[in-house]
Amino acid sequence: MKGEFEHFMKKEIHEQPESVVQTMMGRVVKDMEGAASRVFLGGMINFVSTIRRSRRIVLCGCGTSYNSAIAVRQLMEELTELPVTLELASDVLDRRCPFFRDDTCVFISQSGETADTLKAMQYAKDRGALCVGIVNTVGSAISRSTDCGVHINAGAEIGVASTKAYTCQIVAMVLLSLSLSEDSMSLHSRRKRIMSSLLELPNAIRKALLLDAQMRELAKELKDENSLLLLGRGYNYATALEGALKVKEVALLHSEGILAGEMKHGPLALVDEVLPLIIVATMDDSYKKQESAVQQLRARGGRLILIVSEEDDEIAKTAGDKATIVRVPTVEDCLQSVVNIVPLQLLSYHLTVLRGHNVDQPRNLAKSVTVE
Ligand code: UD1
Ligand code: BG6
């Protein structure tokens, strides 16, 4: 089952160019010239107009599935022009969150069996909200009991650390955002750009996978560290959180992902010549702010590792000679998080192997948490 790969996690990381194709299969419709012209989600056609009339969209999940919600929130707000809020499933239940009949609540889960997510869904359903599933496992409890949804079709994910499900969840929710905005004339060119970038995504992921050797070398440098700090903002706040979660859960190395905009409000105190800082600074609307964060971190002697756009010659100069530069291919800004997570998945894999930990079954964790 693992084929040429030593571990499921590695296999699943390398499957991503194909798994995102599976997520898009039959759903990104091409015109006569082969260009992507529209999105068709069979499970959503009867629900699109209800969702468009909602008062807000709530995205809800646990762990990696919650991080995928963070990754798509900005785009979903832009394309639907509705408020999109985020909820951790366990917190919905703890707070007895106010949900209403005119809310659309989207539940994201690889397994479709996570107890907190399932209970949060039942809670939302009891309050009359429309419940949508973004689920990998066909026939799972969440898939069966939501009103409608999208199967991400990533294929079975065995490694406890979620990798291909994360990128496919993002792609599925980008498709959902596109299908919710089909009638908008003002968004026509933006939607076209996103759809054509979706078709380029498998190749961009393939190129990002070529960073494997560089990530292995970086893992050698970082394997004896006690802590890592990851900084991202905008579309890549999720990349910082998900990268940190991967390192934490499999490499058993403390790591923290932060919103770079919060850097000055606490985390800056940690910066010295020892703590490795991984900064996601690919070219999007947040780029100038990330460049200025790099300047400030360099001025404090920070140990910099940057994830940058392959065509960017500027930010490496700002970071200085001592910085490690990881170059990733460029896609449309709202899809860049799918590419940017790949080197961090590879890094966490190599850190785990070098530190001698169990890659596919990390200590104390389960693939599917079916108790509250
Ligand atoms: C469906 C078929 C797919 C087929 C395609 C052809 C299934 C599972 N999928 O895919 O094999 O190739 O038609 O047109 O038979 N749903 C939920 N909650 C969820 C996920 C999905 O209620 O969390 C519902 C959907 O609303 C839909 C059904 O399950 O009614 C299947 O969803 P999905 O597989 O995403 O639909 P299609 O892409 O149309
Ligand atoms: C568990 C897994 O905690 O559940 C995580 O170890 C996962 O990797 C989380 O992200 C949520 O799981 P699911 O199946 O609901 O996406």
pTM, rounded to two decimals:
0.98
Q: What is the pLDDT of residue 16?
A: 98
Q: Are strands 56-61 and 103-109 parallel, antiparallel or unpaired?
A: parallel
Q: What is the pLDDT of residue 326?
A: 98
Distance 136 CA to ligand 1 centre (A): 11
Q: What is the pLDDT of residue 63?
A: 97
CB-CB contact of 95 with 351 (8 Å): no
Apex CA 235: angle with CA 31 and CA 99, to 5°?
A: 95
CA distance 28 to 194: 11
CA of 137, closest atom in ligand 2:
14
Distance 17 CA to ligand 2 centre (A): 22
Which amino acid appears at position 65 of this protein? S
CA distance 228 to 251: 11
List of residues 6+ apart from 281 with CB closer than 8 A: 287, 290, 291, 293, 294, 306, 307, 308, 315
CA distance 118 to 96: 15
Nearest residue (CA) to ligand 1, atom 38:
42
Ligand 1 neighbours (beta carbon < 6 A): 26, 42-43, 133, 135, 138, 142-143, 146, 148-151
Distance 363 CA to ligand 2 centre (A): 14
CA of 44, closest atom in ligand 1:
26
CB-CB contact of 22 with 171 (8 Å): no
Q: Model confidence over 153-188: pLDDT tens digits?
A: 999 999 989 999 999 999 999 999 999 999 999 999
Distance 269 CA to ligand 1 centre (A): 49
CB-CB contact of 348 with 251 (8 Å): yes
Mutate to test the pocket of ligand 1, among 23, 104, 136, 151 (most ligand atoms within 8 A of CB): 151
Cβ count within 10 A of residue 91: 15
CA distance 173 to 73: 9
- The ligand with the least distance to the CA atom of 133 is 1
Cβ count within 10 A of residue 319: 23
* Buried b / exposed e along 15-44 (16+ C-beta atoms within 10 A): bbbebbbbbbeebbeeeeeeebeebebebb
Torsion angle (degrees, nearest 10) of CA 72, 70, 42, 110: 140
Ligand 2 neighbours (beta carbon < 6 A): 62-65, 109-111, 114, 117, 160-162, 365, 367-369
Distance 92 CA to ligand 1 centre (A): 27
- Residue 48, sorted as left (phi over 0), alpha (psi -120 to 50) or beta, turns out to be alpha
Apex CA 49: angle with CA 45 and CA 50, to 5°?
A: 105
Q: What is the pLDDT of residue 170?
A: 98
Nearest residue (CA) to ligand 1, atom 10:
42
ipTM tops the 0.85 cut: yes
Spell out the per-residue pLDDT of the chain, length 372, in tens: 788 899 999 999 999 999 999 999 999 998 888 888 899 999 999 999 999 999 999 999 999 999 999 999 999 999 999 999 999 999 999 999 999 999 999 999 999 999 999 999 999 999 999 999 999 999 999 999 999 999 999 999 999 899 999 999 999 999 999 999 999 999 999 999 999 999 999 999 999 999 999 999 999 999 999 999 999 999 999 999 999 999 999 999 999 999 999 999 999 999 999 999 999 999 999 999 999 999 999 999 999 999 999 999 999 999 999 999 999 999 999 999 999 999 999 999 999 999 999 888 888 888 888 888
